[in-house]
A and B are shown apart, each in its own frame.
Chain A
Amino acid sequence: MGIMKIDGYPVEFTDEPNILSVIRKAGIDLPTLCYHSELSIYGACRLCNVEDDKGRMFASCSERPRDGMSIKTSTPRLVRYRRMLIELMLASHYRDCTTCVKSGDCVLQNIAHRLGVNSVPWGYRERRYEKDFSSPSIVRDPDKCILCGDCVRVCEGIQGINAIDFAHRGTDAMVIPAFNKHIAETNCVNCGQCRVVCPTGAISINTNIRPVWEALADPNVKVFAQVAPAVRVAAGQGFGGVRGENVMGKIVAALHRLGFDEVYDTTFGADMTILEESKEFLEVFKKGGPFPLLTSCCPAWVKFCETRWPEFVPNISTSYSPIQMLGSIAREYYADPAHNQGKKVLSVGIMPCTAKKAEILREDLKRDGKQNIDYVLTTQEMITMIKRAGIRFDDLEGEAADMPFGMGSGGGVIFGNSGGVMEAALRSLCEGSDRAEIENLRNSGVRGPGPLREFIFKYKGNEIKAAVVSGLAEADALLRRIKNGESFYHFVEVMACRRGCIMGGGQPAHGGFRTKEARKHGLYESDINTQIKKSNENPTALAIYDTLIKGREHELLHSHRH
């Protein structure tokens, strides 16, 4: 608690961990390249330097605010230093902005522009490393890396994976997997969180735009898309829209204009997941184990569990993730010539997630050797396509998703938030449509801040011990406690990305705290605006059990992982 002066104006601070946060709170967007509020403080870029009234300089990200302090953020000297730092970075950077995937969305480029770096007075330090296209999810281009370490800290600190790290030192330093292996040969779980924090084009999404576009242009191919819940509250950001606003209607309209024959809502698949998973849970609960039942909808988590905690793999629900549910059902649907009109059908998932690009390739999710989904495009790729086609997103009139898979419940839509799957599953266990019970559940602890939430849900006189966890490092710790007998749960939801899919690896990057909150609220609000709250009350979902599934749940809706 205290007051400090920033550029002459008094600013109050409370529990801000560093001066940089206070500066940002005061409305000054100090440029930084190595600070993320959720990552450990690294102090490498030195852009956040400020000056105190004695002319002393220090990095504001790594200094605690003190009462009575007075600092300046943009003296001519500071601005000169910042510009020189950027010039130095750029001099060792493979600067092909005009053709770089990140151009226009690149923090380094933006800062250079903001600071008026109009030329680089140093010769280019040629490095030219090989690009790494091995992963279906991300592409690594070390020539673009400025060694800010953000990816290393997110991968190790938040995800507990450490697939990439610094190697060598000094000007030889680089961020690579061990022994400079291809990323696909590591334990990388494809979560794409490194790409989200990377300020440059050094880590980007492995894009599938081209084949999709070709299919869209092919009159002999029927292309349909499904749009995941979290996409709708993030896509608007790509068009300068309001943070967290649900723009599903416009997305549907834009996709139609791009040539998608049908646009479905993955919320429908989410309802299917809940229908199957809650059945599974009740069975396990009745049988008395094995506990906990672990959710299956996050592929990054599933891969993590398989590599790090194989003993828990049998606990993972076999129910398909929402995208697979819809993909599998739609395959059945389009198997009917009445629906495919004799054309080839291409199934595209529009996802907030880079790991889904890997999930669709999994053997245990194939049926007759064929993928349930042909391509996954991330939110960011969808934005790129809309822009590339010149569609004015803002001006679009919203359209409804296509039937029969265009309708989902409120439970389905909150899937995109950490805790959403659990809430939807337990909601479906609430008796009838009792609003009060749903309300109670909401306040039970399933929502809320923090990467780990534990709570108890009363079900028919029994207590269900549940936990919701996001971030794999946190999940790792939780599993360890479960294994050691320190913790016990009946049901655990795990999402690899902190806060869930709203912060997935394929979402528009540069989301600060307010963006994160806005996306979360966006989804909860969509739930409020939905008539049907419970997945097991989605009439279209229930209907397909008779029309398409016909008792083939095991074949159509469950992974054959074990």
Chain B
Amino acid sequence: MLDSSFYTKTDEILSKYPAQERSLIPIIHEIQETYNYVPIELLPYIAKHIGITETKAYSVASFYERFSFEPKGKFIIRVCDGTACHVRQSLPVLERLRSELGLSDKKHTTDDMLFTVETVSCLGACSLAPALMVNEHVHPAMTPDKATELLKELREEASKS
């Protein structure tokens, strides 16, 4: 069960969109941005509000890669494995991040909920390949060592706040 603050927040988000099917994806985007994931309990609530079935809401939400029903870390690191980054050795960067954080292609989020590591295909910074994105910030020309450095910085940032 989610506490009522989730529903208050969701109501706030719902009020910004017309109660129609086409609002579903923008609403889930906002939910995801608010909580870093989509609490599954909210889907029936949203579905009812916009007049679709919960089955449909689940069907749609589960289709899109970006929506996650699992909570994600404070820092979502999206390592680009687009063509340009791939041919410029993005995988070693990914591997370094995973090994430093004890993650794998099955386990994406650290237990302390600090980091989530995912891959993405292209961030639009291909000339500076390999690139990765931390939340909404792009980091260019990565190397495994720079990745280690980055983790250190992020940890410091987290401990400050």
Tell me, yes or no, whether A and B come into direct contact in the complex with CB atoms closer than 8 A. Answer: yes
| A239: interface (CB < 8 Å) | no
Q: Among the listed stretches A51-59, A163-171, A202-210, A436-444, which one makes contact with chain B, having 4 or more residues with CB under 8 Å of it?
A: A163-171
Q: Do the beta carbons of A165 and B63 come within 8 Å of each other?
A: no
A179 to B43, alpha carbons, bound, how many Å? 10
| B62: interface (CB < 8 Å) | yes
A163 to B55, alpha carbons, bound, how many Å? 6
Q: Do the beta carbons of A166 and B40 come within 8 Å of each other?
A: no
A167 to B63, alpha carbons, bound, how many Å? 6
| B44: interface (CB < 8 Å) | yes
Q: Which of A379-402 contact B (CB under 8 A)?
A: none
Task: Given A178-B44, A179-B40, verify A167-B53 contact (CB < 8 Å).
Answer: no
Task: Given A178-B44, A179-B40, verify A162-B55 contact (CB < 8 Å).
Answer: yes
Task: Given A178-B44, A179-B40, verify A186-B55 contact (CB < 8 Å).
Answer: yes
> How far does the Cβ of B141 sit from chain A's closest Cβ, in whole Å?
32
Q: Do the beta carbons of B53 and A162 come within 8 Å of each other?
A: yes
B 38-61 binary contact with A (CB < 8 Å = 1; else 0)? 001001100000000111111100
Find the B residue at minimum CB distance from A165.
B59
> How far does the Cβ of A309 sit from chain B's closest Cβ, in whole Å?
15
Q: Do the beta carbons of B58 and A167 come within 8 Å of each other?
A: yes
Find the B residue at minimum CB distance from A188.
B55
B44, B55, B62, B63: the one contacting A177 at CB < 8 Å is: B55
Task: Given A178-B44, A179-B40, verify A168-B62 contact (CB < 8 Å).
Answer: yes
A162 to B57, alpha carbons, bound, how many Å? 11
> How far does the Cβ of B2 sit from chain A's closest Cβ, in whole Å?
14
Point out the residues of chain A lying under 8 angstroms from B44, CB to CB: 178
> How far does the Cβ of B21 sit from chain A's closest Cβ, in whole Å?
12
Q: Do the beta carbons of A178 and B55 come within 8 Å of each other?
A: yes
A162, A164, A169, A178: the one contacting B63 at CB < 8 Å is: A169
Q: Do the beta carbons of B56 and A179 come within 8 Å of each other?
A: no
Q: Do the beta carbons of A165 and B56 come within 8 Å of each other?
A: yes
Q: Which of A320-349 contact B (CB under 8 A)?
A: none
Point out the residues of chain B lying under 8 angstroms from A168, CB to CB: 62-63
For chains A and B in complex, what number of residue pairs have CB atoms within 8 angstroms? 34
A169 to B54, alpha carbons, bound, how many Å? 18
A177 to B55, alpha carbons, bound, how many Å? 6
Point out the residues of chain B lying under 8 angstroms from A165, CB to CB: 55-56, 58-59
A 145-187 binary contact with B (CB < 8 Å = 1; else 0)? 0000000000000000011111111000000011100000011
Point out the residues of chain B lying under 8 angstroms from A166, CB to CB: 59, 63
Find the A residue at minimum CB distance from B40.
A179
A166 to B57, alpha carbons, bound, how many Å? 11
A187 to B58, alpha carbons, bound, how many Å? 15
Point out the residues of chain B lying under 8 angstroms from A169, CB to CB: 62-63
Find the A residue at minimum CB distance from B63.
A169
Point out the residues of chain A lying under 8 angstroms from B43, CB to CB: 178-179
Q: Which of A35-83 contact B (CB under 8 A)?
A: none
A 287-306 binary contact with B (CB < 8 Å = 1; else 0)? 00000000000000000000
**Chain B residues with a Cβ under 8 A of chain A:** 40, 43-44, 53-59, 62-63
Residue pairs across A and B with Cβ atoms less than 8 A apart, 25 shown, are: A162-B53, A163-B55, A164-B55, A165-B58, A165-B59, A166-B59, A167-B59, A167-B62, A167-B63, A168-B62, A168-B63, A169-B62, A169-B63, A178-B43, A178-B44, A178-B53, A178-B54, A178-B55, A178-B57, A178-B59, A179-B40, A179-B43, A179-B54, A186-B55, A187-B53
Q: Pick the 7 closest A-B CB pairs, nearest first.
A: A165-B59, A178-B58, A178-B55, A162-B53, A167-B62, A178-B54, A165-B55
